[in-house]
Structure 1
Amino acid sequence: MIRISIDAMGGDHGPGVVIPALMAVAVRRPDIRFTIYGREEAVRPELAKYPKLVDKSEFIHSEVAVKMDEKPSQALRHGRWKSSMWMAIEAVKSGKSEACVSAGNTGALMAMSKFCLRTMATIDRPAIAAIWPTLRGESVVLDVGATIGADAHQLVDFAILGTGMARSVFGMERPTVGLLNVGVEEVKGQEEVKDAGRMLREANMTSMDYRGFVEGDDIGKGTVDVVVTEGFSGNIALKTAEGTARQIASYLRAAMGRTLMARIGYVFAKGAFDRLREKMDVSRSNGGVFLGLNGIVVKSHGGADSEGFAAAVELAYDMVRNRLLDRIEADLDLFHARNPQVQAQASTKSDAEAGEENQEM
C-alpha cells in the first residue's frame, strides 16, 4: 500500500475539490490509501458523499487552515503543529505517509516543507519541478519558483534532481538534459550557467545525457527531457506558457463562433479540436514537485479542479512507487564521489546560508 497525506484545506476550493479528486484516484489506484487533514466541519460532509473513500482513508482534524495570501514566515509561526498543511508534511517525516499533496499557499508549503523535512545532505536549495507538455510528449522543467538566482553548484544539483524525476516518472534510463540559456553557443550566457555546463560535461554521469545549452523555444519543442534553470526565469516561462495556452484557447473559441460557416466547420472538426483542448489542458500536467527534500511533497495549482488535483495526487503516487528519492540519492552520491571538490565548496557556502536563515527566523 502507498499512503499519501492530503492537506484538504488548501487551494481556492478546499474539500469540495479535494475529496472528489481522491475518490477518482482511489478507483484508478486500488493500492493507495489517504490520510486527510482538515477542519472537521468542512471535510466530514464531503467525505460522507463517498463511502468507498472513507474505507480507504483516515481523517484527522486540524484547527488551522493556512490562508492563500499568508506570508510564509507567518504561516510557519502560526500554523506549525496545528495546521492541516503542517500535519500533512509532518506525516511524511514521521513515516506515516510516503508523500504529501497540497493545493495551498506555495510559499508557506515550501517554508514548512523545508523546515520540517530538511534538504538532502548535499543539496543547498530545493527546487520546484513541473511536468511540461511538449511536441514530443513531456519534459521536466526546474526550477520554476523556489530558488531565485542559482549558482553553478545549485544548477548542477537541479540537473541531478530533474534527472531523477524524469527517470522515476517517465521510466527513462538516461534522460537528456539541457541548461536554459540565451543561446546554444558555449560562450553565451551568465558565468554561473557556463560554469554549470562545464561541470556537467566533465562529470559524464551515467544517469543523464547532458546536451548543453537550450533556448526558450526548445522547452515546447521537447528538445531535451529535463530543462534546468533558476527560479526567476523558470517561473516566468511557466506563467507565460499557461497564459499563452489560455490566449490561444480564447482565440479559437472566438473564431469558431464568429460566422455560421465557422460554426459548421467546427462541427466537422470537433474531434481535432477536442484533441487540441486535451493537449492544452493544464490540469493534465498539474503538480509542482518540491525536489531536494528528505521526502516527497507535491504542490497542486490553487485553482485546480478535481481532475487537476487528482493528477497531482497520481504524480505523487508514481514517484513513490518508482522510488524517486532512492534514485536521486544514488545519483547525488555518484556525482559527489567523482567531484569531491564540488561538495567541499558547496558545504562552505551552505553553512554560511544556514546561519543567515536562522537569523531571519
Structure 2
Amino acid sequence: MSNLIKIAVDAMGGDGSPKKIIDGIIHNNKSNKENYFKIFGNKNEIEKYINNKVDKSYYEIIHTNSIVKSTDSPLEAAKRGKDTSMWLAIESVKKKEADIVISAGNTGALLVIAKLNLKMIENIDKPALSALWPNKKGMSVVLDLGANIECNSKNLVDFSIMGAALYKSLYPNEIPNTALLNIGSEELKGNETIKETFKILNEKNSNNFKFDGYIEGNELMNGNVNVIVSDGFTGNVALKTAEGTANFITEELKKVFKGSILGKISAILNISNLNKFKKRLDPRLYNGAIFIGLDSPVVKSHGGTDFIGFSNSLNVCNRIIKGNLIDKIRDNI
C-alpha cells in the first residue's frame, strides 16, 4: 500500500451514487493496480457493491453519516457539517492521509469546502477550475472554467503557469504552447486586463511553456495551443458552447443515419468511421476537471457521467500525482 497512489473518493456525490462510483473503482482496478482508494460514504451501501469485486488490499471504507446534496448551496453544504462524505474526503488530503481527492458531487460545494480545508500555494491568489479538451492533435488544458468570474492580470498569469504545469504533469515530454482566449488575434484587441496579461506573458521567459499570444474561440480545437487561459465567465461559456455543439452534431448524425433506408445503409457502410467519430467526441474520455492552486489537487468528476467516465477521471488522478503537479506549480510560480 505504501507505494500506491492514495485517492480519497467521495462515493456519495453525483447521479447514481454510490453504485456508479463503486463500479468506476471496480473498472479502474481491473486495469490499474497503482491506486489505493479511501472511500467515504455509507458503508452498508458501498460494501453491497464492492464486496468480492476488488481485493481488500486496494481499498478501505470510511463510514460517513451525511452527504452534500446536489441542491445545496455552497454555504448550505459547508454548514451541513464536517461529517459529510465530501468534507471528510477533502480533510483526508489535508491530513496527508491521501494524495488527491475526487468527487462527482455539487461543484460549488466542492470548491468552497476545498478552500476551507486546504491552503493556497504560496503566491497564488485564486485557484482555477481546469479541464482537458480534445483537439485535432490531442488534448488541451483549458482554465478557468467557472471558479472565478472576474480576474486581474496577475490571476491570468498564474493560470497560465498552473495550466502549463498541469499539462506537463499529464504529458511530461512536451513543452506546451499557451495562449489567452480573446475576441481577436491582434495585439490591440480585448479588454485592458487581457492586454496587460499579454504584455506580461510576452516579456516573461519561462522554461515551463511558450507563450503564443491570443487564440479565438473558433481555433480552440485546432491543436496548435495546448493551454488556453481565460477568466471563469468566458471559459465557462466556451465550455458549455463546445459541449452543446458536440451534442448537437452527434444527435443530428443519429437522425440522418436512422431517418431513412439510405441513411441506415450508409451507417452500416461507414460503421468503422462512425465509431471512431463517436469515440473522439465521447465526453467520458475527457471526464475530470481539476481544481488547481490549492496545496493539494482536487478533481471534480462530471455528476452525470457513467462508471466508465468516473474510471477515466481516476486515471487523471493517477497521472496528476505521478506527474508531481503541485511541485511543478511551486517551482514555476
* Aligned partners of 1:287 and 1:315 also within 8 Å: yes
Task: Describe the superposition over 1:57-76 as per-residue Cα deviations: whole angstroms up to 9, x where unpaired.
Answer: 00000011100110001111
* Aligned partners of 2:122 and 2:330 also within 8 Å: no
Instruction: For residue 13 of structure 1, give the secondary structure of its aligned residue in structure 2.
Output: coil
Between the aligned partners of 2:233 and 2:291, the Cα distance in structure 1 is 16
Q: Percent identity?
A: 36
Between the aligned partners of 2:55 and 2:278, the Cα distance in structure 1 is 30
- Counterpart of 2:21 (choices 18, 21, 36) is 18
Partner of 1:148: 149
CA drift at 1:198: 0.7
Alignment of 1:29 onto 2:32 = yes
Task: Describe the superposition over 1:44-91 as per-residue Cα deviations: whole angstroms up to 9, x where unpaired.
Answer: 2112252x2433100000011100110001111113x20100111111
Task: Describe the superposition over 1:299-319 as per-residue Cα deviations: whole angstroms up to 9, x where unpaired.
Answer: 000001001001111101100
Judged with a 3 Å threshold, the aligned counterparts in structure 2 of structure 1 residues 213 and 310 are, in CA distance, closer, same or farther, namely same
* Aligned partners of 2:130 and 2:163 also within 8 Å: yes
Alignment of 1:46 onto 2:49 = yes
* Aligned partners of 2:39 and 2:60 also within 8 Å: yes
CA drift at 1:24: 1.4
Partner of 2:247: 246
Letter in 2 for 1:232: F
Judged with a 3 Å threshold, the aligned counterparts in structure 2 of structure 1 residues 18 and 53 are, in CA distance, closer, same or farther, namely farther
Gaps of 5+ in 1: 333-361
Partner of 1:96: 97
Letter in 2 for 1:124: D
CA drift at 1:203: 1.3
Letter in 1 for 2:256: A
* Aligned partners of 2:26 and 2:50 also within 8 Å: no
* Aligned partners of 1:125 and 1:292 also within 8 Å: yes
* Aligned partners of 1:166 and 1:172 also within 8 Å: no
1:17-166 map, 5 Å: 17-48=20-51, 50=53, 52-79=54-81, 81-166=82-167
The alignment covers a number of residue pairs equal to 330
Task: Describe the superposition over 1:93-141 as per-residue Cα deviations: whole angstroms up to 9, x where unpaired.
Answer: 1111100010000000000111101211111110000100011111000
- Following TM superposition, the consecutive aligned residue runs of length 4 or more in structure 1 with deviations greater than 3 angstroms are none
Between the aligned partners of 1:3 and 1:200, the Cα distance in structure 2 is 36
* Aligned partners of 1:47 and 1:54 also within 8 Å: no
CA drift at 1:223: 2.4
Instruction: For residue 290 of structure 2, give the secondary structure of its aligned residue in structure 1.
Output: strand
* Aligned partners of 1:26 and 1:53 also within 8 Å: no
Please say which of residues 310-319 and 166-175 is displaced more in the overlay.
Answer: 166-175
Alignment of 1:178 onto 2:179 = yes
Letter in 1 for 2:324: R
Partner of 1:355: none
Instruction: For residue 254 of structure 1, give the secondary structure of its aligned residue in structure 2.
Output: helix
Structure 1 or 2: more helix by fraction: 1
CA drift at 1:171: 2.1
* Aligned partners of 1:130 and 1:142 also within 8 Å: yes
Between the aligned partners of 1:69 and 1:160, the Cα distance in structure 2 is 34
Letter in 2 for 1:25: N
Gaps of 5+ in 2: none
Instruction: For residue 293 of structure 1, give the secondary structure of its aligned residue in structure 2.
Output: coil
CA drift at 1:19: 0.5
Between the aligned partners of 1:96 and 1:2, the Cα distance in structure 2 is 11
Between the aligned partners of 2:160 and 2:280, the Cα distance in structure 1 is 26
